[in-house]
Chain A
Amino acid sequence: MVKIAVPTSIQGRPQEYEEAHVHNVYDRIADHFSSTRYKPWPIVAQFLSDIPTGWIGLDSGTGNGKYLPIPTERPGSIFTIGLDRSHNLLELAKCAGGSPTRDVLRGDVLGDYWRLGAFDYALSIATVHHLASPKRRKQAIERLIQSVSSTHGRILIYVWATKQDELSRTSFPKKACWSNEDETRISPAGQDVFVPWVTQTSTDGSVTVEPETSKSMYMVLNRYYHMFSEGELSRMAEEAAKELDLKIGSPDEFSERGVKGLHISEEGWERSNYYLLLTRWEK
């Protein structure tokens, strides 16, 4: 199975672009998408395993809710609420991990539905890269920061990277190649792409997806992604922190009482994705 990314550029208003090329696509491919997305990313599983018992968290852009039951070795020790725009994915997320059911809400990752700082942790996995403008991606990060406790909130953000794993299933057309050897061609602002999902509607009305076929009987659904360049995500998190009047750095670097800040505790790359671990603090 080869995933293909085709460079694209945003036309029209980002909200409508996302509606057409993200939300509608996920609603249509929910079942098949879900069957291909059951393995947790190791970094995400580790993040959740490290969360202390009794903490409450938000999975913003939960998709099929595969992170909601984690950590499975400590069932019921933490409580993660799933938020997504796709109704069909939420129906799956509700049942993630079997019974009892998970708490999920339909909403936008840019929406504000919570008491300020209501959560102890928030995760945004493979979600921010679906927002179709830099401003909206930054706002999504601001929302995550605002949703967690100002004294100890932890945030994990995970987005698709221009730097692709050699073993990854993603291939790029020659014309717009930005392989590892060719990093000089990567714009510091990342790259907007379409990842086509080829679907076939069977007689019972359900949609199946056959990514490698290109026969005319199949319909192509183009999913929009913004591929992040190296450092782009952390720069954006710093801008988001500034918007919220938070100092950037570790709490040890500041002594003034009452100061609030955001610490980038970890920044990394895992299997074609960049991730960022953020911690809020207050003196």
Chain B
Amino acid sequence: MVRLITHNLLACHAKGCTTNNFPLAFRDAQVEIQEQDINPEFVRNMLPRLEWKALVDAARQVGDESLPAEQPEMMDDELVQKLHRVLMEVRNLTLSSLLASPNGHDYPSTSLRTRDTPRTNTTSLSTPCIHVLSMHLSPLPHPRTFLQIHITEGAMICPNCEHVYPISNGIPNMLLAENEIG
């Protein structure tokens, strides 16, 4: 699976692609939310590592508008909660095309799905790690933090060279063909 925290670190380095190669844009992203216990200390300490604007834009691309456009100077509890949701959980959406709403404000109709996952870390490997519950909710039930949002399908597009990195079954494929390696 891939969360927005991971997306925030990714940059395209295909052959000749050295500038304007971050952040990758989501296309046809399908998203799921997995509940996760909040660790406020993690969120506070981790935040300086992220690019705020890229995070806000990516969150909007996957249907979460909870974050302010400018990074607040003070990290209050409410912001920590929001960030946790955006980074660690996500309520789902299927965005038919993000290109249709480049600024992330016009949301296409969404179908929502919630993943009901045990909150413990003790699930053994032999059991399926996720139990998917389907449920239909109105778009954007409530904001989710970026640690809870998992992008499961779709693609990430380099804003510069337009290389397409597909995401399938929660796993982005970053492999480049030999002639694309810079």
CB nearest neighbor in A for B182: A112
Considering only CB atoms and an 8 Å cut-off, how many residues of chain B contact the other chain?
A: 53
Considering only CB atoms and an 8 Å cut-off, how many residues of chain A contact the other chain?
A: 45
A101 touches B34 (CB 8 A): yes
B125 touches A106 (CB 8 A): no
A79 touches B171 (CB 8 A): no
Q: Is A119 an interface residue (CB 8 A)?
A: yes
CB nearest neighbor in B for A54: B45
Provide the bound-state CA to CA distance between A119 and B49, in Å: 8
Q: Is B120 an interface residue (CB 8 A)?
A: yes
Known: A56-B46, A114-B11. A100 touches B34 (CB 8 A): yes
Which of B61-69, B97-105, B133-141, B173-181 lies at the binding interface?
B173-181
Q: Is A94 an interface residue (CB 8 A)?
A: yes
Provide the bound-state CA to CA distance between A94 and B46, in Å: 22
Provide the bound-state CA to CA distance between A85 and B173, in Å: 9
A/B pair count, beta carbons within 8 Å:
141
Q: Give residues 47-103 of B contacting A (CB, 8 Å).
A: 47, 49, 51, 88-89
B123 — which chain A residues lie within 8 A by C-beta?
Answer: 95, 97-99
Q: Is A75 an interface residue (CB 8 A)?
A: yes
B127 — which chain A residues lie within 8 A by C-beta?
Answer: 98
B41 — which chain A residues lie within 8 A by C-beta?
Answer: 53-54, 77
Main secondary structure, interface of B, reads loop
B88 touches A100 (CB 8 A): yes
Provide the bound-state CA to CA distance between A68 and B41, in Å: 19
B175 touches A106 (CB 8 A): yes
A91 — which chain B residues lie within 8 A by C-beta?
Answer: 169, 171
B172 touches A54 (CB 8 A): no
B5 touches A56 (CB 8 A): yes
Q: Is A105 an interface residue (CB 8 A)?
A: yes
B120 touches A115 (CB 8 A): no
A111 touches B175 (CB 8 A): yes
Q: Is B153 an interface residue (CB 8 A)?
A: no
Known: A76-B39, A114-B9, A115-B11. A55 touches B46 (CB 8 A): yes
* A267-281 interface bits toward B, Cβ cutoff 8 Å, 1 = contact, 0 = none: 000000000000000
Most buried by B among A87, A104, A106, A107: A106
A76 — which chain B residues lie within 8 A by C-beta?
Answer: 36-39, 42, 88
Q: Residues of A with Cβ closer than 8 Å to B? A: 15, 34, 38, 52-56, 69, 72, 75-79, 81, 83, 85, 87, 90-92, 94-108, 111-115, 118-120
6 A-B pairs (CB sep. < 8 Å): A54-B44, A69-B121, A94-B129, A99-B121, A100-B89, A112-B182
The 4 closest A-B pairs by CB, nearest first: A54-B45, A98-B123, A95-B129, A99-B117
